[in-house]
């Protein structure tokens, strides 16, 4: 295969007016900074002062070969990055962790010797941690962000950590760029904000200079990054891995998690208001579901393909910015995961659990994906920094549940007490010390050839084709949300040239998208697109990439809020609550006072939430059951007006009786198929199972 160096940068820029390029650069005492030929910028160097000729690519054995351990530049950069924060995680600090089990339903014995994937019916304990990426541990649950999805399988053959995201691709192709993307997305270092947000200059500056990020940009600007619930997200292993069978034959595999409840996301305005109403919205939702016995469940599926199939793909599967469409390689469901137990102590388990992609079991191996290759080193190094000891595997949540034995000794926080004279292997002094076994881990027997060098394969050069495919695969509603998200984010960017460069990239993805964003940003003319490193290919739309098209026609896992006040009809409340619970929803009664309300028959009905503190953004659908007197009282209450106005604006079904209708009229809330009579409970349940998408054009202007 031919090779081409594709740094990912779309071009150099002149320093901003008044800037001092060398400011903040380390300089040895009495020495001169290296200078970049033909410019005023100092040369980029290692911490030892060695100038870098390439800061874009790791050292590989061949263009598509494995990353080499001798790459001291990669190791220095990643090591420094891994140790930048203690003890909080640098990324994925904000998380929800839950115990559960994995059950295999279809054997992959033809492809792998891993018992976890061959023993049908076996239930394997797991600990799953779902997290945001950019924010700190004290940030909110609901920013526009990627969700990490890490599963620790406590298998009979040792721990297997499948560490993925709710998005199947990533921003970068090479791990050497990971510190850069995270530095760009984190709080800007001179001001300490924004927290857990991408809507700022440093993030979009980096992205605008990194065309390989464009596919991921489509995903993060889509509704995938504002999920309704952690129980309603898909998850992906991102990288290609290998399965190895008993004969030593290997097959490529990609791993997928698909939620039993289906996909569902929020509306951006709704997300913003949820953040204020309940910063712990996702964590609380998971806790309440498990406490109620509504255990979240995911199907576990694989995409299996050979090297010959991979060679025929119109993209390189080793490129982490690419996915394999389900229409090209169908998913095979082989198991399920059920999360059924909340941790006894958040710190001891959710905070101390340590995931490493390098934790695999016999029968599972790695591909040459350069992002994966860097992660194999980085995660272990990070755990050493965070948990302070190579003995972090002895913490209960990290310890294998199968027997384990080796000759490693001592170290900080050593909790075991090894006995005997021997602490090495081979030895002749012990009949009981552990020995290697033919049944142990074997790597795939793959031949690697090529020239060593900092080279990125030519097959990694196409940065726009799958970004275009993703956008064109969305429904018209989702395309509008994506375009509007780009307008919102880029409107927060202070520097015009960054906004212009991003719109230029969008021209390569889809001209209509670029025009919509340019109009939203108030551009008088379209900027010139950057030069594309490879032609943009027209790939068929993939409906599997939608959310709306994959939503399930169900109220299972959803929540309904019923707003009441003194004088409300108790029988009407009871009937609509029963209809919602029978359909699988959880129901909460909302009243002006936390004590509840006195109903028309004189009885008291306790409230689950007080109106001012329980807005409609916390529910998937609402009902408003009020007497004429109650409606008149609430018509002078801003929280009640907002309750119904937001429910309508966020495209939710609303059931109303006569008093509820009066409140809607006072709030100037319109009428459509999603606003139904409370007596027509069948119509309300049908409307509550989805958003009223056609309503959106009447309540907000989208790009």
Instruction: Say if CB 261 and CB 232 are below 8 A apart.
Output: yes
d(CA 349, CA 280): 18
Alpha helices by DSSP H, 54-154: 72-82
pLDDT band at 2 (very low <50, low <70, confident <90, very high): very low
Residue whose entry in the numeric block shows the structure tokens 């800007």: 188
pLDDT for 27:
39
d(CA 177, CA 373): 13
pLDDT band at 408 (very low <50, low <70, confident <90, very high): confident
Q: Which helix or strand (DSSP H or E) is residue 471 part of?
A: helix 465-473
- Low-confidence winner among 423-427, 474-478, 491-495, 623-627 (lowest mean pLDDT): 423-427
**Residue from 152, 585, 590, 675 nearest 398 by CA:** 152
Instruction: Answer with the residue of higher pLDDT: 700 or 418.
Output: 700
Average pLDDT over residues 674-683: 97
Average pLDDT over residues 194-218: 98
Catalytic residue IDs:
92, 165
Q: What is the pLDDT of residues 479-493, one digit of tens each?
A: 999 999 999 999 999
pLDDT for 29:
37
pLDDT at 30 over 70: no
- What percent of the chain shows pLDDT beyond 90? 83
Q: How many CA atoms lie within 13 A of 77 on its CB side?
A: 26
Structure tokens at 467: 């970004």
pTM of the model: 0.90
pLDDT at 12 over 50: no
Q: How many CA atoms lie within 13 A of 403 on its CB side?
A: 2
Indicate the pairing of strand 147-155 with strand 158-165: antiparallel
Q: Which helix or strand (DSSP H or E) is residue 645 part of?
A: helix 638-649
Structure tokens at 432: 């009981």
Structure tokens at 593: 């006072």
Q: What is the pLDDT of residues 564-592, one digit of tens each?
A: 999 999 999 999 999 999 999 999 999 99
d(CA 33, CA 22): 9
pLDDT band at 51 (very low <50, low <70, confident <90, very high): confident
Average pLDDT over residues 81-106: 90
Within 8 A by CB and 6+ apart from 247, the residues are none
Average pLDDT over residues 263-288: 97
pLDDT at 335 over 60: yes
Alpha helices by DSSP H, 243-336: 268-277, 281-291, 307-312
pLDDT for 7:
43
Secondary structure letter of residue 120 according to DSSP:
T
Which residues are bridge partners to 598 per DSSP? 604
- Low-confidence winner among 87-91, 167-171, 342-346 (lowest mean pLDDT): 87-91
Is the torsion defined by CA of 571, 572, 576, 577 positive or negative?
A: negative
Q: What is the mean pLDDT of the chain?
A: 92
d(CA 42, CA 40): 7
Average pLDDT over residues 628-652: 97
pLDDT band at 37 (very low <50, low <70, confident <90, very high): low
**Residue from 562, 620, 623, 641 nearest 596 by CA:** 562
Q: What is the pLDDT of residues 220-247, one digit of tens each?
A: 999 999 999 999 999 999 999 999 999 9
Residue whose entry in the numeric block shows the structure tokens 């090779």: 3
Q: How far is CA 443 from CA 250, 449, 588, 623, in A?
A: 10, 17, 54, 59
How many residues belong to the chain?
703
pLDDT band at 28 (very low <50, low <70, confident <90, very high): very low
Average pLDDT over residues 92-104: 97
Domains of the chain: 72-169+230-394 (2.40.180.10), 554-699 (3.40.50.880)
d(CA 500, CA 497): 5
pLDDT for 35:
55
**Residue from 168, 269, 301, 287 nearest 230 by CA:** 287
Q: What is the pLDDT of residues 354-406, one digit of tens each?
A: 999 999 999 999 999 999 999 999 999 999 989 988 899 999 999 999 988 88
Structure tokens at 271: 């997300």
- What percent of the chain shows pLDDT beyond 70? 94
Instruction: Say if CB 72 and CB 107 are below 8 A apart.
Output: no
What are the strands, taking DSSP E only, across 191-268? 235-236, 241-244, 250-259
CB atoms within 10 A of CB 645: 18
Secondary structure letter of residue 207 according to DSSP:
H
Q: What is the pLDDT of residues 286-317, one digit of tens each?
A: 999 999 999 999 999 999 999 999 999 999 99
d(CA 411, CA 389): 7
d(CA 551, CA 333): 18
């Amino acid at each position: 295969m031919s090779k081409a160096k594709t740094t990912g940068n779309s071009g150099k820029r002149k320093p901003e007016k008044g800037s001092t390029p060398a400011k903040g650069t380390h300089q040895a005492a009495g020495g001169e900074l290296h200078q970049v030929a033909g410019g005023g910028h100092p040369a980029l160097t290692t911490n030892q002062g060695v100038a870098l000729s390439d800061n874009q690519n790791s050292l590989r054995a061949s263009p598509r070969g494995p990353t080499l351990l001798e790459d001291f530049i990669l190791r220095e950069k990643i090591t420094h990055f891994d140790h930048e924060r203690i003890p909080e995680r640098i990324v994925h600090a904000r998380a929800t962790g839950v115990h559960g089990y994995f059950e295999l339903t279809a054997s992959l014995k033809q492809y792998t010797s891993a018992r976890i994937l061959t023993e049908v019916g076996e239930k394997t304990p797991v600990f799953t941690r779902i997290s945001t990426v950019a924010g700190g541990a004290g940030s909110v649950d609901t920013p526009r962000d990627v969700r990490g999805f890490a599963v620790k399988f406590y298998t009979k053959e040792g721990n297997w950590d499948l560490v993925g995201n709710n998005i199947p691709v990533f921003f970068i192709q090479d791990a050497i760029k990971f510190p850069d993307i995270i530095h760009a997305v984190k709080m800007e270092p001179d001001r300490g904000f924004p927290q857990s947000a991408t809507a700022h200059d440093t993030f979009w500056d980096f992205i605008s200079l990194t065309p390989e990020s464009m596919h991921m940009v489509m995903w993060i600007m889509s509704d995938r990054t504002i999920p309704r619930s952690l129980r309603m997200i898909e998850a992906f292993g991102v990288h290609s891995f290998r399965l190895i069978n008993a004969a030593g034959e290997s097959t490529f595999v990609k791993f997928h998690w698909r939620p039993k409840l289906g996909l569902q996301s929020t509306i951006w305005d709704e997300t913003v208001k949820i953040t204020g109403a309940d910063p712990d919205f996702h964590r609380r939702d998971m806790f309440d579901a498990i406490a109620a016995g509504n255990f979240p469940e995911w199907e576990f599926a694989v995409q299996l393909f050979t090297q010959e199939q991979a060679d025929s793909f119109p993209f390189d599967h080793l490129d982490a910015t690419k996915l394999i469409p389900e229409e090209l390689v169908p998913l095979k469901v082989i198991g399920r995961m059920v999360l059924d137990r909340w941790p006894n102590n958040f710190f001891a388990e959710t905070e101390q659990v340590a995931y490493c992609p390098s934790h695999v079991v016999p029968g599972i191996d790695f591909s040459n994906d350069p992002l994966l290759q860097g992660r194999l080193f980085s995660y272990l190094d990070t755990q050493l920094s965070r948990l302070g000891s190579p003995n972090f595997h002895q913490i209960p949540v990290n310890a294998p549940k199968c027997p384990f034995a080796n000759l490693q000794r001592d170290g900080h926080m050593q909790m075991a007490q090894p006995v005997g004279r021997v602490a090495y292997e081979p030895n002749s002094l012990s009949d009981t010390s552990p020995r290697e076994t033919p049944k142990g881990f074997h790597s795939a027997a793959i031949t690697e050839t090529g020239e060593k060098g900092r080279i990125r394969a030519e097959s990694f050069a196409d940065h726009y084709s799958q970004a275009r495919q993703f956008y064109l695969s969305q429904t018209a509603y989702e395309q509008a949300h994506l375009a509007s998200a780009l307008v919102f984010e880029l409107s927060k960017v202070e520097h015009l040239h960054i906004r212009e460069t991003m719109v230029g990239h969008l021209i390569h993805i889809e001209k209509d998208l670029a025009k919509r964003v340019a109009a939203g940003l108030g551009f008088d003319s379209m900027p010139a697109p950057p030069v594309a490193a490879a032609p943009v290919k027209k790939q068929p739309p993939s409906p599997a990439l939608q959310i709306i098209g994959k939503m399930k026609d169900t109220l299972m896992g959803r929540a309904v809020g019923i707003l009441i006040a003194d004088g409300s009809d108790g029988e009407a409340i009871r009937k609509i609550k029963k209809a919602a619970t029978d359909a699988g929803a959880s129901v909460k009664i909302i009243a002006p006072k936390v004590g509840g309300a006195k109903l028309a028959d004189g009885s008291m009905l306790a409230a689950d939430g007080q109106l001012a503190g329980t807005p409609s953004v916390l529910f998937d659908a609402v009902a408003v059951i009020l007497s004429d007197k109650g409606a008149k009282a609430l018509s002078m209450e801003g929280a009640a007006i907002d309750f119904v106005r937001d429910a309508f604006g966020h495209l939710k079904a609303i059931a109303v009786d006569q008093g509820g209708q009066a409140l809607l009229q006072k709030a100037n809330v319109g009428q459509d198929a999603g606003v139904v009579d409370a007596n027509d409970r069948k119509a309300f349940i049908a409307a509550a199972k989805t958003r009223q998408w056609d309503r959106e054009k009447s309540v907000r202007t989208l790009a």
